[in-house]
Amino acid sequence: MSLDWAPDSDLLNAYSIRAGLNASVFTPDAILGFVLHHEAKGLAQTEKQWVAAPVGSVKRDNVKAARVVPLRARQANGPDFDSRDWADNLDAVL
């Protein structure tokens, strides 16, 4: 890989579609970050391997993000002890 590397657009589209991703997420800035990270390693890979790497990375990130369970929303100042919400259901209990 060299600093002027750019993925073949047809190959990137094909890999993106196969991974269920929109190729538009691979912006020039995103590709630049990938190139800067990997060029310094001096690895020799095929064009298909280089194109598959960012697609696989984004796919893994999306899977990880989907597994994250959001924390339950909590009140900023703790419970509202002055609330009368409990009284709305009192008639149904009695």
Q: Is residue 52 part of a domain?
A: yes
- Per-residue pLDDT, 6: 94
Q: Is residue 73 part of a domain?
A: no
- Per-residue pLDDT, 89: 65
Listing DSSP states for the chain in one string gives --TT----HHHHHHHHHHHT--GGGS-HHHHHHHHHHHHTTT----HHHHHHHHHHHHHHHHHHHHHPPPPPP--TTS--TT--GGGGGHHHH-
Q: Is residue 83 part of a domain?
A: no
Q: Is residue 53 part of a domain?
A: yes
The predicted-structure confidence for 18-28, as pLDDT tens digits, reads as follows 999 998 999 99
77 pLDDT tier (thresholds 50, 70, 90) = low
Q: Is residue 38 part of a domain?
A: yes
| Residue 7 buriedness (CB in 10 A; 0-12 / 13-18 / 19+) | buried
Q: Is residue 93 part of a domain?
A: no
Q: Is residue 25 part of a domain?
A: yes
The predicted-structure confidence for 49-64, as pLDDT tens digits, reads as follows 999 999 998 898 888 8
Q: Is residue 59 part of a domain?
A: yes
Domain count, the chain: 1
Instruction: Note down the domain range covering 16.
Output: 9-65
- Per-residue pLDDT, 35: 92
